Amino acid sequence: MAAVYPLIFAALLFSVGVYGLLSRRHAVLVLMSIELMLAAVTVNLVTFWAIAGDALLTGQVFALFVMAIGAAEIGVGLAIIMLIYRNRASVNIDDADLMKY
Amino acid sequence: MSSVAWLIPALPAASAVVIVALGRKMPVGGAEIGILSLATAFVLSLVLAVEVFGANVAATTSGVGEAFLHTARVELAPIGAGDSLFAGIRIDGLTVMMFLLVTFVSLMVHVYSLGYLHGDERFTWYYAVLSFFSAAMLLLVVSDNLMLLLVGWELVGVSSFLLIGFWWELKANSDAAIKAFLTTKLGDVGLVVGVVALWGQFGTFDIAAITAMVGDGVQAGGAPLDTGLLSFALIAFVLGVVGKSAQFPLHTWLPDAMAGPTPVSALIHAATMVTAGVFLVARLYPLYSAAPAAQATLAVIGAITLLMAGLLALVQEDIKKVLAYSTVSQLGYMVAALAFSYTAGIFHLFTHGFFKALLFLGAGSIIHAAHSNNLRDMGGLAKVMPTTFATFLVGTLALMAVPPLAGFWSKDEILVEAAAAGGYTGSLVLVVGALGGALTVLYMTRVLYLTFAGSFRGEGHPHESPRSMTGPLVALAVPAALIGLVNLPVEAFQPYAFSAWTMFSLEYWQTHPIAFEPAIAAVAVGLALAGFLAGWALYRALPLGDDDPARRLGPVSTVLAEKYYLDRLWTDLVTRTIVRDTAAPAAVTLNDEVIDRAVAGAGRATVATGRRVYDDVDQRGIDGVLHGLATSTWWSGARLRLSQSGNVQLYAGAMLTGVVVLAIVFAVGEVS
Amino acid sequence: MSWEQSAITITVALPLVGAAAVALVPRRNEDYAKVLALLVSIGGFALSLAILVGYDWSERGLQYVASVPWIEPAGISYTVAIDGISLPLFVLSYLLTFLCAVYSFHHIEEPGRPKAFLSLMLLLQAGMAGTFIAFDLILFFVFWELVLVPMYFMIGIWGGPNRQYAAIKFFLYTLFGSVFMLVAFLAVYFAAPERTFDLVALQQYGAAGEFAIGFQRLAFLGMFLGLAIKVPMWPFHTWLPDAHTEAPTVGSVLLAGILLKMGTYGFVRIALPVLPDAAVEYAPLIAVLAVIAIIYGALACLAQSDLKRLIAFSSVGHMGFVMLGIATLTPLGINAAIFGMVAHGIITGMLFFLAGTIKERYHTREIAALGGGMLKTTPRLGAVLGLVAIASLGLPGLAGFWGEILALLAAFNPAPELVAAGWLTLYRVLVVFGAVGTVLTAGYFLWMMQRVLMGEPPERWVAAPPEDVSPIEWGAWAPLLVLTVALGPLPFLVTAITDADVTSIMSAFGA
């Protein structure tokens, strides 16, 4: 079962992303961690498509979707971070608690 | 004539409206309108009386036909499922008798008030309310159905509120007015419940229809008559009577109501408002005949009232309060009488209306002169106020039931009927009524003595009242003296007498003849004489101020003074010790300390309950629950929002934890 | 579109359009808003009178019917019509708004701003009037909720010192109830043999017994909550004294005069005919709550020191009589209830006008601070207060009497179903308690009259007596005073309008 390798790879990749998401304080690094998680999902999608293999190429299509969304998300996310940096001279996400109760 | 009888209540009603609208611009402040309307109503009543009484006499003399009855009605409003409210008039002997009494006394009071309230700042308003009151009372007596009767009854109540509290600047006066209105209103609960119950039972308010159904022993829908429900309704009415006619134990409002102007007392506490309850029982007499329980209630209440009030009258210092308790006592006679005899009850109502109005107006004249209500501030007025004295004496003698004045015939009739009825209630009323007669004489002797004998003890120089006041006194003295003769208990005269005029059915008249019992009359007169002697002796002997007793007594009393030692036993032991020092104070204590305090206490307790309900139940209880709900929502919100720390990573961690938990749950579910 | 079909729509739309127009009056000419609002309200009143006059009394039943689909997929339609039950309340709502518009020339509470105030008043008018003519449940609900918003702002902006609290309490409480009512409406929609919000159709289903009794119980409970809070029935009444006490005069008048009647009207129009079997089961409970309200309201009144709050609590008792009439499920009882609603609207509306004027003249509503003697300082104002207070305590010959006595009459002989269920004795006992309630009612009004009207006035009022009733106030009050006096001797003014339709709508109860 060759499929187990990409799946393990994806799981590791996702775990790294989760770790980064929860532990990093630098906003850009958090964004990059999210990208890692998205990449892991993409790998999974392609892998499962390769196993199930339907004619509509669902896995491939979704992989493209995820990439597009990831790009958009990075764009918006970085823009927000830039604004926060401009206003507060910090990209530490602990400082960005404007939505606190 | 009976087709325009509705004018009789309508005229004073219209007059009230006109007085309010135009009275201030009239030369006599609107009084002339009121007097004119009442005079017209009185004349109309006389004309009507000739027609109605004539028709009744024709029936009694020939022995055929039926008692005069004319009804006419208009629909007021549909009230669902084919039922309607009606406004209608009912003209019969009883109505016309009340018309005569009310319009005449009201006319006298209207005239008398010209002098009594001369220069009062609310003179016009006074006449408007006086006319309105007369209209309400006339509406009450003329209505052919119970609903309209209830309307008149309540309107009488509210106009009496306005009249008793006429000088509302003083809190005591408005207190008295409120007490009168609320106490009678409490009785009205009985009336309302009774009216509702009779409507529920018979499906109509029409008195004639209900009477007919009771006569046939059926109720609404032709079902057999439920006498239990009927008795319930009639006893509920008795509660209304107890309130309005000031019977025990709701009588306490009437003496307080003396706070109103004296002519008002003459009108509403002698001839009209307080007789409304008696009138109601008389109006429904055929129903009461079918409900012995209700009749027994009447007899007992009447007997208690007449004795108790008679005792209370004995010790009042205020001349109007003596008359007030006397009225309560006499109303007791009427109520008790209606337990046995229709004619006896309304005959006493009729005669009492005249002589008690006379007494109240006389008292007004005395108060006007002496500038005080207190008997201690009077004395020696016989010389300076000859007209007042003479008429007051006539009224007093009539009230004392001295033959052949009005009160004798009517009170004697009550005792005769009570004796004829027999049984517990009959005996009770007979004995108590005879005793009450002696009491009446006793307290009226006292009033006469303290007011007219001796020398003046008050301040200033009393003088005779103006013509506008003495005129009505003289005019009332005539019926007070003579009206009793219209029902002479002589068999040959009876078909032409009062009992024939006012009968509600020929059959009743034929089966309930008016009789005369020499023995009862003799006992009553004897008791009265004893009362008179005792009273004179007693009050002569009492120290009153500093002046010499002999000088106070005058020539008449010298003779009586001789008898004083003979009567000493009677006077000291019976009259003074038992009646004056024991029974009367006991009655006063019971009245002031128990009943009146209970009435006042009930009022205070109600207010306190209201406060308790509002503070504890409403604000703390019901509203507290709401506030509790609101507060707990707010509290949990305040706690829950703390989880919104603003730390994105915390949110993400929570999310992941959730995902993991869900994954485990699904995995476990998959495996098992 | 003929007048027949468009009359109601035009009449209800007029105040809506008027509200918008008033809101557009330029700020610098704010006083024009008063004139415009007066014209609109006169127009509305005239139109409502035209509907009343044009109503075919020989035909009876629903007239001026107009029905167009509104949200077709959900079966919601714009259905309006009017009959004898709606007519008195419909006309009364226009009359009171008209009088409020007149009164606002005299006085608007702080912070003034007549434009906003009158605009809200007209919006309120549209909601009130619409409730009485909607014959589609959702349309009814829309109008019902439409009333909330302007009243919320009226209390919250122009109210007394505690206005925020009162406004929020009023809004949330009523909204809480109406949510349950909406759920019940939806439930009825789904349970009907043919899904519909059409009230006439639902009434026919109700009469034909199409709804199972278990379902009826739940649905009735939902409607009961919504309607009972609005009435308000004991123990859902606590929003009322706060709202009334804090509301501006015009708000109080409309609140007492019309808003409360929406609840009782809802019982008569929707809850009873659509769910007759549940109504029979709930009726004894409603009757008991109603009589509790009568006694309780009177007792609470005895504890009040604020004139306006006293009047507010008196409404609890008066609406108790109305609900007692409804709970008998007889035509007589419903006639009594509608009479009571109209009389209460007139009398209590008038009392709130008076409370507002007294506050404005004497700068206090505390009975103790007023100090008595009003008949001396402002005799006309005092006399009017005396007359209206006596009318409110249910004196015969004035408007307040018939609603009470007819409700008691009806309660003595409730509907045959209730008798069959063994409730006769309960109802007859309630008659006695209701009658006792009238004495308590008389008690607190007389007490109030004694403390406010009678006695010697305090020095400060004698030295500078406040202004007596102004011409504008006479203008605003005269119609109400005339009606107060006229409805006493002429009760057919209401019952002749309502009787036939009440008898037919109550035929479901075999009476």
A30-88: per-residue pLDDT in tens? 999 999 999 999 999 999 888 887 778 888 889 999 999 999 999 999 999 999 889 88
Asked if B610 lies within 8 A of C444 by C-beta distance, the reply is yes
Looking at residue B170, the DSSP 8-state letter turns out to be S
What's the pLDDT at B571?
Answer: 46
What's the pLDDT at C160?
Answer: 85
Q: How far is B626 from chain A (nearest CA, A)?
A: 27
C388 in contact with B, Cβ within 8 Å: no
Q: Which helix (H) or strand (E) holds B80?
A: strand B70-80
Contact between B224 and B272 under an 8 Å Cβ cutoff? The reply is no
B168-186: per-residue pLDDT in tens? 888 888 888 888 888 888 8
C contacts of B150 (beta carbons < 8 Å): 396, 405
Asked if C396 lies within 8 A of B151 by C-beta distance, the reply is yes
Q: Which helix (H) or strand (E) holds C227?
A: helix C213-230
Q: Count interface pairs B-C at CB distance under 8 A.
A: 161
Beta bridge partners of C67: C79
3-state secondary structure B371-401: CCCEHHHCCCHHHHCHHHHHHHHHHHHHHCC
With an 8 Å Cβ cutoff, the interface of chain A facing chain B consists of: 18, 21-23, 30, 93-94, 96-101
* Cβ contacts of A71 within 8 Å, gap of 6 or more: none
pLDDT tens per residue, chain C (511 residues)?
688 888 899 999 999 999 999 988 888 888 888 899 999 999 999 999 999 998 888 878 888 999 999 888 888 999 999 988 999 999 999 999 999 999 988 888 878 788 899 999 999 999 999 999 999 999 999 999 999 999 999 999 998 888 888 998 899 889 989 999 999 999 999 998 888 899 999 998 988 888 999 999 999 999 999 999 998 888 888 888 889 989 999 999 999 999 999 999 999 999 999 999 999 999 999 999 999 999 888 888 888 888 998 999 899 999 999 999 999 999 999 999 999 999 999 999 999 999 999 988 888 888 888 888 888 888 899 999 999 999 998 888 899 899 999 999 999 989 888 989 889 999 999 999 999 888 888 888 888 888 888 888 888 888 888 888 888 889 889 999 999 999 988 888 888 888 888 888 887 776 4
What's the pLDDT at C133?
Answer: 93
Looking at residue C306, the DSSP 8-state letter turns out to be B
Distance (Å, rounded) from C-alpha C431 to C-alpha C489?
A: 24
CA B526 to chain CA centroid, Å, is 30
A contacts of B648 (beta carbons < 8 Å): 30, 93, 96
Distance (Å, rounded) from C-alpha B35 to C-alpha B409?
A: 31
Asked if A100 lies within 8 A of B644 by C-beta distance, the reply is yes
C contacts of B199 (beta carbons < 8 Å): 409, 412
- The position carrying tokens 């106009």 is B159
Residue of B nearest to C165 (CA): B627
B316 backbone dihedrals φ, ψ, rounded to 5°: -80, 145
**Minimal Cβ distance to B649: which of A93, A98, A99:** A93
**Minimal Cβ distance to B645: which of A23, A30, A97:** A97
Contact between B330 and B245 under an 8 Å Cβ cutoff? The reply is no
Helical pair B227-244 and B275-283, crossing angle rounded to 10 deg: 160
Q: How far is C85 from chain B (nearest CA, A)?
A: 12
**Minimal Cβ distance to B648: which of A18, A23, A93:** A93
Chains that touch A (3 or more CB pairs under 8 A): B
Pairing of strands B70-80, B83-91: antiparallel
B80-106: per-residue pLDDT in tens? 777 888 888 888 888 888 998 899 888
Distance (Å, rounded) from C-alpha C115 to C-alpha C117?
A: 5
Task: Give the angle C47-C52-C58 at the CA atoms, nearest 5°.
Answer: 145
What's the pLDDT at B567?
Answer: 40
B contacts of A14 (beta carbons < 8 Å): none
Pairing of strands C76-82, C63-71: antiparallel
Chains C and A touch (3+ CB pairs under 8 A): no
Asked if C503 lies within 8 A of B80 by C-beta distance, the reply is yes
**Minimal Cβ distance to B656: which of A18, A96, A98:** A18
Distance (Å, rounded) from C-alpha C393 to C-alpha C406?
A: 15
Residue of A nearest to B654 (CA): A22
**Cβ-based burial of B519 (10 A; exposed 0-12, middle 13-18, buried ≥19):** exposed
Q: What is the mean pLDDT of chain B?
A: 82
State the first-to-last Cα distance of chain C, in angstroms, to the nearest integer: 39
Q: Which of C130, C487, C224, C129 is nearest to C342 (CA)?
A: C487
Residue of B nearest to A26 (CA): B649
* Cβ contacts of C119 within 8 Å, gap of 6 or more: C19, C20, C22, C23, C33, C37
Altogether, the residues listed in chain C come to a count of 511
Distance (Å, rounded) from C-alpha C505 to C-alpha C501?
A: 6
**Minimal Cβ distance to B646: which of A18, A23, A99:** A99
Q: Which of C214, C498, C208, C476 is nearest to C353 (CA)?
A: C476
B657-668: per-residue pLDDT in tens? 999 999 999 999
Helical pair B423-452 and B292-313, crossing angle rounded to 10 deg: 20
Residue of B nearest to C458 (CA): B169
CA B203 to chain CA centroid, Å, is 29
Q: State both tokens at C236.
A: 């859902």
Distance (Å, rounded) from C-alpha A26 to C-alpha A92?
A: 5
Asked if A94 lies within 8 A of B647 by C-beta distance, the reply is yes
Question: Which amino acid would we find at residue C345?
Answer: G
- Cβ neighbours around B216 below 10 Å, total: 10
Q: Count interface pairs A-B at CB distance under 8 A.
A: 30
Q: Does residue B559 have a pLDDT over 50?
A: no
Q: Does residue B554 have a pLDDT over 70?
A: no
**Minimal Cβ distance to C397: which of B151, B168, B170:** B151
What's the pLDDT at B397?
Answer: 86
B458-481: per-residue pLDDT in tens? 777 777 878 878 888 888 888 888
Distance (Å, rounded) from C-alpha C511 to C-alpha C504?
A: 10
Task: Give the angle B169-B174-B178 at the CA atoms, nearest 5°.
Answer: 165
Distance (Å, rounded) from C-alpha C437 to C-alpha C462?
A: 37
Q: What are the structural domains, with CATH classification, of chain A?
A: 4-100 (1.10.287.3510)
Distance (Å, rounded) from C-alpha B331 to C-alpha B309?
A: 10
Distance (Å, rounded) from C-alpha C431 to C-alpha B196?
A: 8
C418-462: per-residue pLDDT in tens? 989 889 999 999 999 999 888 888 888 888 888 888 888 888 888
Contact between B182 and B176 under an 8 Å Cβ cutoff? The reply is no
Strand segments, DSSP code E, in C150-282 are none
C390 in contact with B, Cβ within 8 Å: yes
Contact between B87 and B100 under an 8 Å Cβ cutoff? The reply is no
Pick among B137, B169, B618, B629 to test the C interface (most C CBs inside 10 A): B618
**Cβ-based burial of A74 (10 A; exposed 0-12, middle 13-18, buried ≥19):** middle
Contact between B329 and B414 under an 8 Å Cβ cutoff? The reply is no
State the first-to-last Cα distance of chain B, in angstroms, to the nearest integer: 104
pTM of the entire predicted model: 0.85
What's the pLDDT at C406?
Answer: 92
What's the pLDDT at C458?
Answer: 83
B256-311: per-residue pLDDT in tens? 888 888 888 888 888 888 889 899 999 998 888 888 888 888 999 999 888 888 87
Question: What is the dihedral sign for C-alpha B633, B636, B639, B645?
Answer: negative
Buried-state track B328-360, b at ≥16 Cβ within 10 A, e below 16: bbbbbbbbbbbbbbbbbbbbbbbbbbbbbbbbb
A contacts of B659 (beta carbons < 8 Å): none
Distance (Å, rounded) from C-alpha B105 to C-alpha B473?
A: 11
Q: Does residue B421 have a pLDDT over 90?
A: no
Asked if A96 lies within 8 A of B648 by C-beta distance, the reply is yes
Q: Which of C461, C482, C412 is nearest to C95 (CA)?
A: C482
Q: Does residue B550 have a pLDDT over 60?
A: no
Q: Does residue B672 have a pLDDT over 80?
A: no
Cα–Cα distance list, C203 to C200, C275, C342, C505 (Å): 5, 8, 24, 9
**Cβ-based burial of B652 (10 A; exposed 0-12, middle 13-18, buried ≥19):** middle
Chains that touch B (3 or more CB pairs under 8 A): A, C
Instruction: Compute the radius of gyration of chain B from its Cα atoms.
Output: 32
**Minimal Cβ distance to C499: which of B80, B610, B626:** B80
B contacts of A18 (beta carbons < 8 Å): 656
Task: Give the angle B156-B162-B165 at the CA atoms, nearest 5°.
Answer: 130
Distance (Å, rounded) from C-alpha B312 to C-alpha B322?
A: 8
Question: Which amino acid would we find at residue B32?
Answer: E
* Cβ contacts of C54 within 8 Å, gap of 6 or more: C3, C7, C64
B contacts of C88 (beta carbons < 8 Å): none
A contacts of B657 (beta carbons < 8 Å): none
**Minimal Cβ distance to B168: which of C336, C454, C496:** C454
Residue of C nearest to B158 (CA): C395
B contacts of A22 (beta carbons < 8 Å): 649, 652-653, 656
Residue B546 pLDDT class (50, 70, 90 cuts): very low
* Cβ contacts of B524 within 8 Å, gap of 6 or more: B401, B411, B412, B415, B434, B437
Asked if B646 lies within 8 A of A21 by C-beta distance, the reply is no
Q: How far is A32 from chain B (nearest CA, A)?
A: 14
B146-166: per-residue pLDDT in tens? 999 999 999 998 888 888 888
Q: How far is A22 from chain B (nearest CA, A)?
A: 5
Question: Which amino acid would we find at residue C188?
Answer: V
Residue B588 pLDDT class (50, 70, 90 cuts): low
Question: Which amino acid would we find at residue B303?
Answer: A
What's the pLDDT at B313?
Answer: 79
Pick among B121, B170, B192 to test the C interface (most C CBs inside 10 A): B192
What's the pLDDT at C341?
Answer: 94
What's the pLDDT at B179?
Answer: 82
With an 8 Å Cβ cutoff, the interface of chain B facing chain A consists of: 641-642, 644-649, 652-653, 656
Asked if B649 lies within 8 A of A101 by C-beta distance, the reply is no
